[in-house]
């Protein structure tokens, strides 16, 4: 295995195309990429998606599992997630396995490069498996989450990216992922009648559930310091533990009880440990998680946009602090990576090839390919007046605050937004004429 050609695959979801419109997806069941919608069409579709996701716990439309299977393949979900029902992605195209190989010292690269990568390797080391999703998750919740991803796992660096799909496609994917749910006759319905939420709260704290799980909005829980996230045996459990405020929407009470009692029996290989408890204790804990009063989530805020810098900003500084750190991993040089320039350049994850190469000054200057196949500049002004590249970075900040822009997909895709100072740096460089 050669190290250089695989660099783009190592971080395939680290960021995305700055020029992406809000709808780049392939049509359900198609085998060829569909042309992205215009900004106005994308806005209408995104508005419909937002409305469809407004009540994620509601019963989902039935969906078509066969179409969902094709979509899961087209969206390349297996490049990050195991348990998709698809053949595993090749080792050199599996984002998470590449990162795991680097962390474990199995990746074939010079020792100096391995040391440098490990010092900065924080994302995509752990991603939840989709195995047994039907036995754990409500179909309606899956659909809503696909349409409006949010920070479900607060101790995981990456989040689910905002894919270019609409309500019908989300329903189809949810139908496919829940297709193998065991019949109720195989798992008797568990009623919470008679369960004690008060006792469940005591058990929740006594058994150390807060060591891995956040439970935002539940008042008065004892603060528990999480285990060190780099401890091999506990890192994945901490990183993948979902915030329990979402548990009542994600799962039915009977499924939660079965999960708490023996998670490994439902999803073999899960890092969730089996904590010794009786069925009655499990019901009490679930009663607490499912019924505890929750304070409303704190409103999200967008960082204040900083004024342009008066000092000189060069490409080298912007490349070192911004492009090289995240952007170029999805907008890389195809000749450097066996023809795979990442989803923001040569396409992937359901996104149409945009030809945006952020690995070099010349590549950035060449811009991206629009819906009509014409080259456009990422420095041209968008509807809001900001350069398109800057608009995508600002849109990611807005997404994190719960204010997704229907017309612009925020970047970096699936990763924390850039800080105000980093965006200020990019915007100042563009305003100064993009000096090298």
Per-residue pLDDT of 117-175, as tens digits, reads 555 555 667 789 999 999 999 999 999 999 999 999 998 888 899 998 999 999 999 99
Residue 154 burial (CB count, 10 A): 13
Return the structure tokens found at 104.
């474990």
Per residue, what are the HEC states of 114-125?
Answer: HHHHHHHCCCCC
* Residue, of 195 and 28, whose pLDDT is higher: 195
User: Rounded to the nearest 10 degrees, how much is the dihedral formed by the CA atoms of 403, 405, 409, 413?
Assistant: -10
User: If you average pLDDT over every residue of the chain, what do you get?
Assistant: 81
Task: Say how far apart CA 287 and CA 205 lie, in whole Å.
Answer: 14
Considering 1-10, 72-81, 137-146, 320-329, the range whose residues carry the highest mean pLDDT is 137-146
* Residue, of 390 and 37, whose pLDDT is higher: 390
83: left (phi over 0), alpha (psi -120 to 50) or beta: left
Task: Say how far apart CA 430 and CA 311 lie, in whole Å.
Answer: 13
At residue 267 the predicted structure's pLDDT band, cuts being 50, 70 and 90, is very high
Between CA 268 and CA 274, with CA 270 as vertex, the angle to 5 degrees is 90
Between CA 401 and CA 30, with CA 35 as vertex, the angle to 5 degrees is 100
Q: What number is the average pLDDT over the span 232-239?
A: 78
Look at residue 86 and tell me whether its pLDDT is greater than 60.
yes
- Residue showing tokens 């822009």: 405
Q: What number is the average pLDDT over the span 182-204?
A: 80
At residue 236 the predicted structure's pLDDT band, cuts being 50, 70 and 90, is confident
Q: What number is the average pLDDT over the span 256-280?
A: 95
Round to the nearest angstrom and report the end-to-end CA distance of the chain. Answer: 35
Return the structure tokens found at 382.
């968008």
Q: Tens digit of pLDDT for each residue in 306-356?
A: 999 999 999 999 999 999 878 877 898 876 655 678 888 888 888 899 999
Look at residue 275 and tell me whether its pLDDT is greater than 70.
yes
Between CA 137 and CA 16, with CA 149 as vertex, the angle to 5 degrees is 130
At 24 the pLDDT is 45
Task: Say how far apart CA 360 and CA 357 lie, in whole Å.
Answer: 7
User: Which region among 33-47, 91-105, 361-375 has the lowest average model confidence (pLDDT)?
Assistant: 33-47
At 394 the pLDDT is 97
For residue 369, what are the β-bridge partners?
375
Look at residue 224 and tell me whether its pLDDT is greater than 70.
no
User: Which region among 54-63, 159-168, 284-293, 351-360 has the lowest average model confidence (pLDDT)?
Assistant: 54-63
Instruction: Report how far apart, in Å, the C-alpha atoms of 136 and of each of 81, 328, 398, 406 are.
Output: 16, 36, 31, 30
Instruction: Report how far apart, in Å, the C-alpha atoms of 201 and of each of 26, 163, 240, 376 are.
Output: 46, 37, 22, 57
Q: What number is the average pLDDT over the span 209-214?
A: 93
Q: DSSP H helical segments within 105-166, as ranges?
A: 111-120, 139-147
* Residue, of 425 and 299, whose pLDDT is higher: 425
Q: Tens digit of pLDDT for each residue in 423-435?
A: 999 999 999 999 9
* Residue, of 191 and 221, whose pLDDT is higher: 221
Q: How many helices (H) and strands (E) does the chain have?
A: 17, 2
Instruction: Report how far apart, in Å, the C-alpha atoms of 125 and of each of 154, 157, 328, 346, 416 are.
Output: 15, 9, 19, 24, 15
At 16 the pLDDT is 35
Q: What is the DSSP letter of 91?
A: G
At 429 the pLDDT is 98
* Residue, of 88 and 193, whose pLDDT is higher: 193
Task: Say how far apart CA 350 and CA 408 lie, in whole Å.
Answer: 16
- Residue showing tokens 């965006």: 423
Look at residue 233 and tell me whether its pLDDT is greater than 80.
no
* Residue, of 393 and 53, whose pLDDT is higher: 393
- Residue showing tokens 């990456």: 158
Residue 182 burial (CB count, 10 A): 13
Q: Report which secondary-structure segment, H or E, holds 169.
A: helix 167-177
Task: Say how far apart CA 327 and CA 317 lie, in whole Å.
Answer: 14
Q: What number is the average pLDDT over the span 365-390?
A: 94
Report yes or no: 336 and 345 within 8 Å, Cβ to Cβ.
Answer: no
Percent of the chain whose predicted confidence (pLDDT) is above 90: 55
């Amino acid at each position: 295995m050669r190290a250089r050609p695989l660099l783009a695959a190592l971080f395939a979801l680290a960021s995305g195309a700055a020029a992406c419109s809000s709808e780049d997806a392939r049509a359900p069941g198609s085998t060829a990429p569909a042309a992205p919608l215009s900004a106005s069409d994308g806005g209408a579709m995104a508005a419909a998606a937002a409305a469809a996701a407004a009540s994620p716990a509601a019963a989902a439309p039935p969906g078509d599992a066969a179409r969902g299977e094709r979509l899961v393949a087209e969206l390349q979900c297996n490049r990050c997630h195991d348990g998709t029902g698809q053949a595993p992605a090749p080792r050199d195209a599996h984002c998470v396995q590449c990162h795991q190989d680097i962390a474990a010292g199995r990746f074939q690269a010079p020792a100096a490069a391995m040391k440098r990568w490990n010092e900065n390797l924080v994302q995509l080391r752990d991603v939840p498996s989709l195995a047994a999703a039907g036995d754990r998750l409500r179909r309606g919740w899956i659909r809503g989450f696909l349409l409006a991803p949010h920070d479900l796992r607060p101790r995981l660096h990456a989040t689910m990216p905002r894919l270019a799909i609409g309500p019908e496609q989300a329903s189809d994917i949810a139908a496919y992922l829940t297709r193998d749910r065991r019949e109720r006759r195989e798992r008797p319905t568990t009623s919470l009648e008679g369960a004690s939420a008060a006792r469940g709260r005591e058990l929740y704290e006594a058994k150390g559930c807060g060591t891995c799980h956040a439970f935002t909005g539940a008042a008065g829980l004892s603060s528990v310091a999480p285990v060190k996230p780099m401890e091999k045996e506990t890192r994945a459990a901490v990183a993948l533990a979902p915030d329990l405020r979402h548990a009542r929407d994600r799962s039915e009470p009977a499924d939660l009880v079965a999960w708490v009692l023996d998670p490994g029996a439902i999803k073999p290989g899960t890092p969730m440990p089996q904590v010794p408890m009786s069925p009655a204790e499990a019901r009490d804990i679930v009663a607490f998680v499912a019924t505890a009063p929750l304070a409303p989530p704190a409103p999200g805020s967008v960082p204040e946009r900083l004024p342009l810098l008066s000092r000189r900003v060069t490409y080298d500084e912007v490349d070192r602090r911004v492009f090289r750190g995240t952007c170029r991993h999805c907008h890389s040089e195809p000749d450097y990576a066996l023809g795979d320039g990442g989803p923001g350049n040569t396409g992937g994850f359901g996104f149409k090839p945009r030809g945006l190469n952020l690995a070099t000054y010349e590549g950035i200057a060449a811009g991206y390919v629009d819906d009509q196949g014409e080259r456009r500049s990422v420095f041209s002004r968008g509807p809001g007046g900001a350069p398109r590249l800057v608009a995508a970075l600002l849109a990611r900040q807005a997404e994190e605050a719960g204010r997704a822009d229907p017309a612009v997909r925020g970047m970096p895709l699936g990763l924390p937004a850039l800080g105000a100072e980093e965006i200020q740096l990019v915007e100042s460089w563009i305003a100064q004429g993009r000096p090298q």
